[in-house]
Every structure is written in C-alpha cells, then in structure tokens.
Chains A and B, each alone.
Chain A
Amino acid sequence: MTQKFRLMRILPLQIGLGVFLAWLGLLIAQNGVVYAASSGQEQQPGNAVCLGCHQQPGQTMTLPSGEQLYVSVDPAQFGKSAHAKAGVACAVCHTDIFGYPHPQRSAQTIREYTLTYKDTCKLCHADKYALDSVHRQAFESGNENAPICVDCHNPHTQVQVTDEQGNLIPEELGKSPEVCAKCHNAIYEEYIQSVHGEAAQQGNPDVPVCISCHGLHKIEDPTTAKFRLASPKLCGDCHSNQEMMAKYGLSTDVYNTYVSDFHGTTVTLFEKTSPDQPTNKAVCYDCHGVHSIRRVDDPQAGLEIKQNMLAACQRCHPDANENFPDSWLSHYTPSPTKYPVVYYVNLFYKFFIPTVLGVMGVLVLSDVGRRISMAVRRRSKGQNQGSKEKTQS
C-alpha cells in the first residue's frame, strides 16, 4: 500500500522529467530559439491549470522562516510578459510543481526559495550566463543576496524590451533604472535628480540610464583603476556626438579639451600604456559628480559657478585658492575673450618660432649654397687644369 502510494507520488515527477527532456530536445532542435508550447503536449499541464488557482491575488505560502512567499500571478500582467508571448508554459520553469498537492519544498526562506531557480533561466538564456558581471562575482564569492536573473527580471512580468531589430525600446530603457533601484536606491535617488536622471524620467532616450554606462548583464566593477581610466571615453562617447549634442546646445569639444589639458593627458596616457594603473588625476566624474551630475549652471553644483568649481578643485587640491580654478581651461579653447593670456602666448609662438627658424634657415641655406658652388668650382677648375696639363704634355 505504502509502496503504491509512493509510486503515485513520484509519478508526476517522472512525467515531468519526460516532458522536460522532450522539450529540451525540441529546444536543441530549434537551435536554441525559445519556443515552449503549453498546448498540444501530452501530460504537461497548461498554464490555465496553474492560473486556475494562482490567478487569485493575495495568495501566500508561509515558509519555515515565517516569511510569506507570494504565489499569485496576475494573468493580465503575465499575458503581457515576454514569456507568455513566447508561449513559455509555467511548467517549463516550474519543472517540479506538477500535480496537486504540490511536492514539499525544502526552502526555509524566500531567498532560499528564489535561489532554487538560480539556474533555471540557463535553459533558454545560456548566453547571458556566460557573461562575467560584478553581480555574478559577488554571488560566486558567497554573497547570496547578490542578484540572480529573477531579482531583476520578474519572469512573470518581464516584458519584451527589444524591438524586432534587437534594439532596446527607448521606453523600456527609461524604466530600467527602477530595476537597479531595488538594491541601489541611494544612488538611484541621487541619479533621478541629476541632469541625466531628470531627462530619463521624462522619457528622453538620449540620456544615459544606469545600464548605458555600467553595461547590461556584463556589469564591470566600477571601482577599479581600469574603469576609472576608461571612464572619460564613456562620457566622451555621447558628449562628442555632434548630432546628439546639437539638440541641447552642448559643446562637442569637452572630451578633446579634457585630453589636451593637465588631467586628461595623464589619464589618456595611462589608459593607453598601463590601463590597470591607479591614478588620482581627475576624470570627468571627479568634478562633475558620479551619479549627481548637474547642469553646469545649476546654482548648487554647476561648475560654471566659480565657487562650485573651486570646491571641485579643492577635493584634490585642498590648498587651492580662488584663482586656481582658472588654471583649468574649463573645456574652452583659448580665444581673445576666453583665457586671453593663453591665447596670446600661443599666438606669439605661432609667429616667433617660424621667424627664428626662418632666419636661421636662410643663413644655413646661404652657407650650403656657397659650399656647393665652391665645391663645383673647385672640381671644374681641377678638371680644367688636368686637361691643360694633358695638352701641354
């Protein structure tokens, strides 16, 4: 009797395994493309079966830790998700929850429960698993709170974020900081008040959101020397883009002028010759802020206001006085009105160098000319003498 009972209990698991293997075969046959059908397959419960119960809102399951695991799925929201649209059945991911009553779960906490799905996404999204990310590193170094796929992408609600061409849909891009905010809320709060964050919230697709700089799935550690050295290029990518900057009346010279000034030269050289070397030479974000970048005319933090600029200088040059900020050309090319002393020094040398070298060159050339003509004369003289001697003999 007990034997039979046990068999009956594992029967759904056996069926499930069979279905799963069949589905995996299908997956491989279809070259990795995600199409999981929920209907037409024997024995696999359709989504309707699961939703029959789970569509009721507010259902929870109490875990041994006392935490409430939310087990409801809103069919309307699920219907909009990329998974629903691709026909991915509940059972594709929830491979162990066939039949009723559902098998007992061993997870003690919500986190433990979530982590049981750590490798589930790999079935279809193996390419993303291959990427090295600061989150993955954190997880592998033992931090179980480091995000796994489902912490960012709720599989029941995650909509398709790319269009047919595979480009991120601007609207989704604009919403993406909310995802990061789940764990990085302090930075998020600062970001949404920045010039970029404000515009991103209004749906402007030009401004950077978190992933524009930090990357997607392949999130690099932003505290390394390498990231620091490469960061000006990150800003320069957009801020040198004429088409984009023209919309906002911004200069496209900020990167070039940075590179040709004190800090930028060193940083650029480091980046090229020793990209892992730490440097304290200022990069864009040391003055403009990391996530708190404001407009340059912002009264509190804008660098166009001298006191703000001085405060920025003093972060690295504590003894700087109020003259000191002018030693930085503020991304301007010197002109008679902007940094005239620099402009006129350059102008002076523009004429002085050719004049000095020109005088020297003329004198040198005259000397060369004389020496050549003398040599020619001496040779022809010698030949003449030689021929004379011949005739005489």
Chain B
Amino acid sequence: MSEKTQRYMRFDVAQRIEHLVLILSFTILALTGLPQKYSLSPVSQAIIQALGGIETIRVIHRTAAIVFVLEAVYHVVVLGYKLIVLRLEASMLPEFKDARDMVEWFLFNLGLRKEHPKMPRYNFMEKMEYWAMVWGLLLMALTGFMLWNPLTTARLLPGQFIPAAKAAHGAEAVLAVLAIILWHFYNVHIKRWNWSMIKGTLSREEMEEEHALELEKLEKGMTPVLPDPETKRRRERVYFPAAALFVLASLFLVVRFVTLEETSITTLPPAERLPVVVRRSPTPLPTRPPTPTTAPTAEGAAAPTTWEGGIDRIFAKCAACHGTAGGLSVKTYADLLKGGKDGPGVAPGDPDASQVVIKMRGAHPVKFSDAELQQVIDWIRAGAPEK
C-alpha cells in the first residue's frame, strides 16, 4: 500500500455508533427545544404542529435528553476503562500546546507562518468541541433538572433560579447549535468531508494536515503499550464492579430525576367556584296605591258635586276605551247621559238605573275606587248636575 492511499484508524465501530447516538439525540433536542424557546415564530409553530403539539414535543425532548444523559454515562464508563484499565494516554485533555497550536494555525492561515502546527491525536479544534460538549451537557442536565423539577429546586434554591435556569438552558442551546453549525460543520463537512466518523479512518494527507504529530508517532510504530493480560485482568476485577456501581447509581439518579416530583395537578384548576345560576329575589312590583290620585278627596278638597266640578276627572281615564267601546263615549256630559248599547250611562237621580254604576258593580275590567264610586253615586242621586 502506497503512502498516499494508506488509511489511518481514528475511531472504532463503538465510537462511531456512540457518535451516531449523539447526533440523533442532539438533533432531536435542538429540534424540539428551540421551537419552545422561540414559540411565537411561525417556523417554530409549524415544527411543533408537525411533531404533534407542544405536549408531545416536551415528551420527545425529555426522552431525547435521557438518551443524551445515558450516552454520557456510557462514555464515562468507556473512558474509565481506557484510562484506568488500559492506561491509555488521556489524549483529550487540553494542554498549553493546544493554545499555541491555535495561534500558529491562525497565523499560518494568514500567511504569517510557513508551516502549519504539527497537531496531536486530538487537535485544538476537536478539544474545543469536546469540552464545549462536556460543559454543555453538564449545564443542560443541571438546568434541565431544575426545569423538570421546579418544586424540588425551589426547596433548595431561591425561586428565581428556575427562570434563570430556563434562560441559561435556552441560551446554551442556541450557543451549542450555532457552534455545531459554524465550527463542527465547517471543520468536518465543509472545508473537506471528513469520513472518520463513518468509515473510521483518515487519509495520509488529512492526517498530515490535522494530526501531524500523531502521524509521526504512527509512522515510527509508536503504538500505545497495552498492559499484559494478567495486569489487565487484575485491574478489570476492580474496575468492572466499580463501573457497574457507577452505572447503577447513574440509572438510579436518572429514574429519580424523571419521577422526583408531581409538579402540578393533572386536572383543570377550578375556574369559577360559585354556582352559575342564582336567581335574584325580584324587586317587588308597584302595588295599587291606597287612595286613587284621581279622587279629589285625595287632594284634600271637598267631594265634587258637579260634572264640571270634578266628576269629569273621575271619568277621564274611561275615555281611553270609551271613545267608542260598547257604543259609549264619556268625553262629554251629553255623551255620558246618552250612554251606549246597554242604555243611558247616567240616569239622573237614579244610581241603580245608571249603566255606569251597574257596570262598576259588575264585571267591568277596570273599576273606580270605592271612594270614586261613592262620589259618582252621590252625584247621580243629587240629579247629576252638569254645573
């Protein structure tokens, strides 16, 4: 195999699967989280609707978060095995050289240096991403816990830490997504498609540019020294139970995390507790006044004795109907004497023959008051004088 076509191993299958899980959970978290942060934008609302509504989106978000956390637990266990059992180099730890590499890389890009820096197995670009991821995970898990369990949080911290957690959770998400797009996408997809997380290897040219130091080591045949089987087995005997304990503890914490509190009631809060229909006791309607206003006695004057002297006023209210009704008009003295279809309205001197009195004592719907009727009877008995 020629130098040019030589492939250099970067990530084994397990690491590539791990990366895939991370891609999935991160993408789902971003897709379900950002629309919640920017909930008023039409794009967010379209996403929310497409994913089954805000409640469903929250369930998806929280499920993806659990996957993300479990992935981190797995990562720590594998990392522990590599560092404690295999005693491999902690190649992800940031060093002073990384800062220098970054500056030199920048100067090289500007044409101020002839050579690009020779970079180790994980260069500063990758370390930036890795540690940003670690920081992001811890912060998101912590603030996510606070948002998921606000009652518990409020027992431990002042209440405003909960909206503060929401602010940090959202802002950190924006930072993470933008960093992935700007930094990760540029470095592994745009400037050159990097196959190492899919095929597992890099070409010599890529290794030369990004991991020259690692390439030198590999070409010198400096492969990591693995412990002899006996030492390895001895270390594993300690590490495996410890790791198992760690995994169990982590799982326990995750389950607690999810089931810690019943944040709110699941029923509708009571809206209006008062009974809807309560009838008001109605205002009493006006009753018939004790003395009719039309009765002259009510005005304190002497009882009328003539038609024009006040009897006409007693008949005034009859005129509303008895302009014509029953053939009777009571508008003038003469009309009243003439009467209607049943005979003369008033028979001077004889109240019992006067239809007015007969009707008032009978079934007429509207009646004079007793006082009024008495005045009318007295007036007729006195010969029903007009003046």
The CA of A12 and the CA of B378, in the complex, are separated in Å by 37
Highest count of chain B CB atoms <10 Å: which of A261, A349, A352, A369:
A349
Contact string, A361-377, partner B, CB cutoff 8 A, digits 1/0? 11110111111010000
Nearest residue, chain A, Cβ from B261? A319
The CA of A323 and the CA of B150, in the complex, are separated in Å by 10
Interface residues of A in 161-202 (CB under 8 A from B): 181-188, 190
Contact string, B170-187, partner A, CB cutoff 8 A, digits 1/0? 011011001100110011
Chain A residues contacting B268 (CB-CB under 8 Å) are: 228, 278, 280
Question: A263 to chain B: closest CB distance in Å?
Answer: 10
**Is B277 in contact with chain A by the CB < 8 A criterion?**
yes
**Is B301 in contact with chain A by the CB < 8 A criterion?**
no
Size class of the contact patch on chain B = 35 or more
**Is A79 in contact with chain B by the CB < 8 A criterion?**
no
A360→B277 contact, CB < 8 A? no
Question: B30 to chain A: closest CB distance in Å?
Answer: 15
Count A-B pairs with CB separation below 8 Å. 216
A346→B171 contact, CB < 8 A? yes
Chain A residues contacting B161 (CB-CB under 8 Å) are: 327, 341
B163→A349 contact, CB < 8 A? no
A373→B286 contact, CB < 8 A? no
- A327 touching B365 in the complex, CB below 8 Å, given contacts A70-B285, A370-B109: no
A268→B40 contact, CB < 8 A? yes
The CA of A48 and the CA of B288, in the complex, are separated in Å by 20
- A49 touching B320 in the complex, CB below 8 Å, given contacts A185-B278, A341-B160: yes
Contact string, B55-93, partner A, CB cutoff 8 A, digits 1/0? 000000000000000000000000000000000000000
A186→B275 contact, CB < 8 A? yes
**Is B298 in contact with chain A by the CB < 8 A criterion?**
no
Chain B residues contacting A364 (CB-CB under 8 Å) are: 182-183, 186-187
Size class of the contact patch on chain A = 35 or more
Interface residues of A in 23-59 (CB under 8 A from B): 48-53, 55-59
B108→A370 contact, CB < 8 A? yes
Nearest residue, chain A, Cβ from B272? A290
Nearest residue, chain B, Cβ from A146? B277
Contacting residue for B286 out of A58, A280, A328, CB 8 A: A58
Chain B residues contacting A213 (CB-CB under 8 Å) are: none
B158→A326 contact, CB < 8 A? yes
Chain B residues contacting A228 (CB-CB under 8 Å) are: 268, 271
The CA of A345 and the CA of B317, in the complex, are separated in Å by 85
**Is A315 in contact with chain B by the CB < 8 A criterion?**
yes
B53→A274 contact, CB < 8 A? yes
Contact string, B296-326, partner A, CB cutoff 8 A, digits 1/0? 0000000000000000000001111100010
**Is A266 in contact with chain B by the CB < 8 A criterion?**
yes
**Is A142 in contact with chain B by the CB < 8 A criterion?**
no
- A182 touching B163 in the complex, CB below 8 Å, given contacts A317-B264, A321-B155, A327-B154: no
- A186 touching B168 in the complex, CB below 8 Å, given contacts A259-B40, A272-B45, A321-B155: no
The CA of A282 and the CA of B321, in the complex, are separated in Å by 64
**Is B366 in contact with chain A by the CB < 8 A criterion?**
yes
A318→B265 contact, CB < 8 A? yes
Chain B residues contacting A360 (CB-CB under 8 Å) are: 128, 179, 182-183
- A345 touching B168 in the complex, CB below 8 Å, given contacts A58-B286, A74-B286, A280-B265: yes
**Is A216 in contact with chain B by the CB < 8 A criterion?**
no
Question: B150 to chain A: closest CB distance in Å?
Answer: 6
- A345 touching B164 in the complex, CB below 8 Å, given contacts A58-B287, A273-B53: yes
Nearest residue, chain A, Cβ from B266? A280
Chain B residues contacting A329 (CB-CB under 8 Å) are: 160, 163
**Is A17 in contact with chain B by the CB < 8 A criterion?**
no
A269→B278 contact, CB < 8 A? no
The CA of A353 and the CA of B262, in the complex, are separated in Å by 34
**Is B105 in contact with chain A by the CB < 8 A criterion?**
yes
Contacting residue for A100 out of B128, B164, B274, B321, CB 8 A: B321
A185→B280 contact, CB < 8 A? yes
**Is B362 in contact with chain A by the CB < 8 A criterion?**
no
The CA of A50 and the CA of B317, in the complex, are separated in Å by 11
**Is A291 in contact with chain B by the CB < 8 A criterion?**
yes
The CA of A52 and the CA of B365, in the complex, are separated in Å by 11
Contacting residue for B154 out of A323, A345, A357, CB 8 A: A323
**Is A139 in contact with chain B by the CB < 8 A criterion?**
no
Nearest residue, chain A, Cβ from B109? A366
**Is B347 in contact with chain A by the CB < 8 A criterion?**
no
The CA of A315 and the CA of B268, in the complex, are separated in Å by 10
Contacting residue for B159 out of A268, A325, A356, A366, CB 8 A: A325
Contacting residue for B191 out of A52, A222, A266, A367, CB 8 A: A367
**Is B54 in contact with chain A by the CB < 8 A criterion?**
yes
**Is B269 in contact with chain A by the CB < 8 A criterion?**
yes
The CA of A364 and the CA of B317, in the complex, are separated in Å by 103
**Is A204 in contact with chain B by the CB < 8 A criterion?**
no
Contacting residue for A357 out of B172, B178, B286, CB 8 A: B178
Contacting residue for B45 out of A58, A269, A323, CB 8 A: A269
B54→A363 contact, CB < 8 A? no
The CA of A384 and the CA of B166, in the complex, are separated in Å by 60
B54→A320 contact, CB < 8 A? no
Nearest residue, chain B, Cβ from A143? B277
- A48 touching B274 in the complex, CB below 8 Å, given contacts A57-B288, A273-B45: no
**Is B111 in contact with chain A by the CB < 8 A criterion?**
yes
- A370 touching B111 in the complex, CB below 8 Å, given contacts A53-B365, A319-B261, A364-B186: yes
Contacting residue for A321 out of B154, B178, B187, B286, CB 8 A: B154
Chain B residues contacting A53 (CB-CB under 8 Å) are: 320-321, 365-366
Question: A28 to chain B: closest CB distance in Å?
Answer: 31
Contacting residue for B174 out of A49, A222, A340, A353, CB 8 A: A353
A52→B319 contact, CB < 8 A? yes
Chain A residues contacting B272 (CB-CB under 8 Å) are: 187, 222, 290-291
**Is B6 in contact with chain A by the CB < 8 A criterion?**
no
B321→A49 contact, CB < 8 A? yes
The CA of A277 and the CA of B166, in the complex, are separated in Å by 25
- A187 touching B175 in the complex, CB below 8 Å, given contacts A341-B160, A366-B109: no
Report B's interface with A, CB cutoff 8 A.
36, 39-40, 45, 48-49, 53-54, 102, 105-106, 108-111, 128, 132, 150-151, 153-155, 157-164, 166-168, 171-172, 174-175, 178-179, 182-183, 186-187, 191, 261-272, 274-280, 282, 285-289, 317-321, 325, 365-366
Report A's interface with B, CB cutoff 8 A.
48-53, 55-59, 70, 72, 74, 100-101, 181-188, 190, 222-223, 228, 259, 261-262, 265-266, 268-270, 272-274, 277-278, 280, 282, 285-286, 290-291, 315-321, 323-329, 334, 339-342, 345-346, 349, 352-353, 356-357, 360-364, 366-371, 373
Task: Return the 5 tightest CB-CB contacts between A and B, nearest first.
Answer: A52-B320, A326-B159, A58-B288, A349-B171, A366-B109
A-B contact pairs, 8 of them (CB 8 A): A53-B320, A269-B45, A323-B158, A324-B154, A326-B154, A349-B168, A366-B110, A369-B109
Given contacts A270-B54, A360-B182, 9 further A-B contacts (CB under 8 A): A50-B320, A57-B287, A186-B275, A278-B268, A316-B265, A327-B150, A329-B160, A363-B105, A366-B110
